[in-house]
Amino acid sequence: MVQAPQRTAFSGPTLIRLLARLTDVDVPESTQSLSDRLSQWLGWTDAIALSSALNGAPPAVASGARAFGNAEENECARVRTSLAHAIAGDSAFAGARRRGPARAPVQGAPADAAVDYAVFRQRYLSLQQEMETGIGNLRGRLRQILAARTPAMTRLAVMDAVMERALSPREQNLLAAVPGLLAAHFERLRQAGQDTPADAQASGDAAAVTPGAWLDVFRKDMQSVLLAELDLRFQPVEGLLAALRTS
């Protein structure tokens, strides 16, 4: 049975722990504090903008924004549920018995031999774009409401805008690498699925004993990674919601 090597468990977000388990990238957990890492990620223009937001005169409270209430809470829940359903229901993750093969395999070859990882990569990137757009719009709307509350809440809204502008490019670059990391996991599972029945039984590899089972394992793993990424991307929204509930 082909498995990712065992490594020291990470204490970070679920997405990081999943990727550490599924991939063969062995990166030691950082010993730097969050503030030290942020200082390396922020450019000098970002640092100036953040310093101004923190230390400048209290910003003027914006006018015209609507009050925070159940409608916003419900909209946040709706967006998150919609994105989770998009991940769970995406056609790329449907079982072969429901979708049918994408094209007829070569005679005598396994039914899943023609599966191309490029299809999964493209669907992953498309779902990432859906998350980025939906969550970004939601985050901006919550900032507008926050900016209409008190000077302190307005300052927080400005800080969130500065941090999003400064960190979004790095976040996008890092998350765009996830499909590439999963490609190696896909190939390991494919190789396990191509073991001879005798080899599979000897190793106890169920994905190899049952034709096509490795692909279902990969689909499930990829969905889990996407859902973990959704949780990670939603954290700033959760922070803004928490601030609004107490303001």
Between 131 and 1, the higher pLDDT residue: 131
Domain boundaries, the chain: 33-94+116-246
Which stretches of the chain are DSSP H helices? 14-22, 34-41, 44-55, 70-89, 96-99, 117-146, 151-176, 178-193, 197-203, 206-209, 213-246
Q: Across the chain, what does the average pLDDT equal?
A: 80
Distance from C-alpha of 2 to C-alpha of 109, rounded to nearest angstrom: 21
pLDDT confidence bin for 205, thresholds 50/70/90: low
Give pTM, 2 decimals: 0.79
Q: Which residue is listed with tokens 């991307």?
A: 233
Q: Determine contact, residues 29/10, Cβ cutoff 8 Å.
A: yes
pLDDT in tens, 73-119: 999 999 999 999 999 999 888 764 454 444 444 444 455 556 889 99
